[in-house]
Amino acid sequence: MSGGGAGDTLDKLVVFLAKRDGVDKLVKTYQYVAKLAHWAAETSHPGLAGRAKSWETAAGLSRKVFRSGRSLTGFNALRRSPGEFGALAVLANAGEMVYFFFDHFTWLSRVGVLEPWLARRASFVSAFGECVGYVFFIAMDFIMIRRGIRRERALLRGGEGKEEEREGEVRRIRADRVMRLMGTAANLADLVIAVADIEPNPFCNHAVTLGISGLVSAWAGWYRNWPS
């Protein structure tokens, strides 16, 4: 029994890491664990703190490379009909496209391919687009969560279709709500990180705030992308 469970988990991990988003969430975990380790060791163990900082920097740059071409996702969504959300979907996808597109210039500048001064400007524009995208993606998720709650209440009152069908739909609504709440948690956490880049302040830029926000986002992503 235990061997089968371990094998099943390993199978799921292999599938998870075969996805670009899966690798991104793993490396994101590395990045923000390293950030917290650097903060914790900075005063008492400078040598260890330096190694943690190098790990954090390498993980952050690696994630940017893995995201090459991701701007096409937002661009492709803009080419299609925005659907029922209209302007909300257009603004969310436009923000995401700007975020990933300028992210290319950020990492190319940081590794020395482009002029170093370009990194800060590209990072600002990228983070601004990221903020815009997150705000509207969060708004769409809240709308869908509210609709789901209303639909669930109507189903629980009965009177629609067979009981088994109602129970099945309620389960689907609840599962969708959990996924949307995870997505909202990740977007809110990433929004804090983006605000720290756009408008530096003591709260958002504190290592603990950034570290916890990064891990919340990473682990919500693990949950959403883990094979069911």
The tens-digit pLDDT sequence of the chain (228 residues) is 445 666 688 999 999 999 999 999 999 999 999 999 999 999 999 999 999 999 999 999 999 998 888 888 888 888 887 778 889 999 999 999 999 999 999 999 998 899 999 999 999 999 999 999 999 999 999 999 999 999 999 888 876 667 788 888 999 999 999 999 999 999 999 999 999 999 999 999 999 999 999 999 999 999 999 987
- Per-residue burial over 43-68, b if 16 or more Cβ lie within 10 Å, else e, is eeeeeebeebbebbeebbbbbbeebe
Q: How many CA atoms lie within 13 A of 26 on its CB side?
A: 12
Assess if residue 4 is contained within a domain. Answer: no
Assess if residue 3 is contained within a domain. Answer: no
How far is it, in rounded angstroms, from Cα 209 to Cα 195? 12
The pLDDT value recorded for residue 5 is: 66
Q: How many domains does the chain have?
A: 1
The pLDDT value recorded for residue 124 is: 95
Question: The pTM is what?
Answer: 0.89
Assess if residue 19 is contained within a domain. Answer: yes
H or E segment and range at residue 116:
none
Tokens standing for 181?
């709440």
Helical pair 207-225 and 163-198, crossing angle rounded to 10 deg? 150
Domain span holding position 67? 9-225
* Residue 82, phi then psi, degrees to nearest 5: -70, -10
Assess if residue 101 is contained within a domain. Answer: yes
Assess if residue 1 is contained within a domain. Answer: no
The pLDDT value recorded for residue 156 is: 85
